Amino acid sequence: MAATIFLNGEFTPASEANVSVFDGGFLHGAGLFETMRSENERVFQLESHIARLQRSAGQLLIPIERKNLPHAEQFSELLSQNGLKEGRVRLTVTAGGMKSDDNAPHLTICATASSLSDYPSQLYDQGVNVIVSQYRQSPNDPIAGHKTTSYFPRLLALREARQARCIEAVWFTTHNHLAEGSISNIFLLQDGKLRTPPIDTPILPGLARELVLKLAVDAKLDVAECVLSVDDLLDADEVFLTNSIMQVMPVVRVEKKDIADGRVGEITRTIYNAYRDTVQKECKLI
């Protein structure tokens, strides 16, 4: 089946889709995106993803009304046309260009669907290794905390991690505060207390992060968003990463330092199982 995309309100064969070379996303990296998980042809947390994109668009591009973005039925149709029940769905909005007859920007809005390519199950059983990125996150960066298409620094950090045979590169701020992974949020368990950096670190307000905070409260865990240091990270009893595709990924080593005994912790397993239950219920798999 030929790949199909949803571009500016229409389903289009990928081979026929075109975006102008004068598009602001192409020229300046002026764009936003959401990467979403789909199961059973349903996008998990769709409206939350859309709302986050709208918030960022209002601050960085121009306000976008909900009616101008794809709806659940269109995402389901996109998955169906690509022969997918489970998939990785991406919605991208760029600054677009100017039409000759007015001065208003015309955004480019594109949705794509591809195979989910889940992380191998053994990673959840055995845990993963991460590095500390050599790069630093600035609280003064105007796009910090937004999921923008200006992603090259994150890709460089990920390449650094892959070269070290690690799955993620963890970022600190210019003030040496723990921030986030290149493509994930991060949680630590310390003395039975679950901790994660606050949004104003700044970090991306991850939707998986938000769900984990709720699940942890439901599980009666002591939960807090607080400033964390490298010592907090290295001395943690458990560490895990979150994003919409990996969901809840246990970390057992940072650089050459094992976390606790180098095994996946019970709280991490509990949170992962609760997360998976939530996905399955919303996507109506059980």
Round to whole Å and give the CA distance between 89 and 111. Answer: 7
Q: Could you write out the DSSP letters of every residue in 177-218? A: -EEEESS-EEEEEETTEEEE--TTTT----HHHHHHHHHHHH
Tell me the whole-structure pTM to 2 decimals.
Answer: 0.95
Domain extents in the chain: 4-115, 121-282
Round to whole Å and give the CA distance between 94 and 20. Answer: 11
Residues 6+ apart with CB under 8 A from 195: 187, 188, 189, 223, 224, 225, 226, 228, 232
Which is nearest to 82 in space by CA: 18, 8, 7, 14? Answer: 14
Taking only the tens place, the pLDDT of each residue in 151-181 is 999 999 999 999 999 999 999 999 999 999 9
Taking only the tens place, the pLDDT of each residue in 170-223 is 999 999 999 999 999 999 999 999 999 999 999 999 999 999 999 999 999 999
Round to whole Å and give the CA distance between 202 and 259. Answer: 25
Alpha-helix runs per DSSP H in the chain? 24-28, 46-60, 72-81, 121-126, 152-163, 207-218, 230-234, 266-282
Token code pair at residue 248: 């809840």
Q: Is residue 90's pLDDT more than 90?
A: yes
Token code pair at residue 253: 């080593």
Round to whole Å and give the CA distance between 153 and 163. Answer: 16
Q: Is domain 4-115 given the CATH code 3.30.470.10 in the classification?
A: yes
CATH class of 121-282: alpha beta
